[in-house]
Amino acid sequence: MDILLVEDDKTLCQQITEALASWDFNVIKVHDFDAVLQTYLDHQPHMILMDITLPKFDGFYWTRQIRQHSSVPIIFISSRDSPMDQVMSMEIGADDYVQKPFHMPVLIAKLQAIFRRVYQYNQQERRTMIWQEAVVDWSKGTVTKQDDVTYLSKTEMLILEVLLKHKNEIVAREDLMTALWDDEAFVSDNTLTVNVNRLRKKLAAMGMPSVIETKVGKGYIAHDNV
Mean pLDDT (the chain) is 87
pLDDT in tens, 152-170: 888 888 899 889 988 899 9
Spacing of C-alpha 179 from chain mean position: 17
Classified as helix, coil or strand, 47 is: strand
Rounded Cα–Cα distance for residues 111 and 24 (Å): 12
Boundary-marking domain end, from 73, 89, 119: 119
Answer yes or no: do 26 and 114 share one domain. Answer: yes
Q: Note whether 154 and 197 are same-domain residues.
A: yes
Rounded CA-CA distance 67/19 in Å is 27
Q: What is the span of the domain harbouring residue 51? A: 2-119
Give the pLDDT confidence of 8-53 residue by residue, as tens digits.
999 999 999 999 988 889 999 999 999 999 999 999 899 999 999 9
Residue type at 143 in one-letter notation: V
- Residues 6 or more apart from 50 whose CB is under 8 A from it? 6, 59, 62, 63, 74, 75, 76, 77, 94
Q: What is the pTM of this model?
A: 0.56
Is residue 115 located within the same domain as residue 147?
Answer: no
Q: What is the pLDDT of residue 120?
A: 61
Residues 164 and 77: their CA atoms lie apart, in Å, by 37
**Same domain as 32, residue 68:** yes
Number of domains in the chain: 2
Same domain, 192 and 140: yes
Domain termination residue (choose one: 119, 135, 168): 119
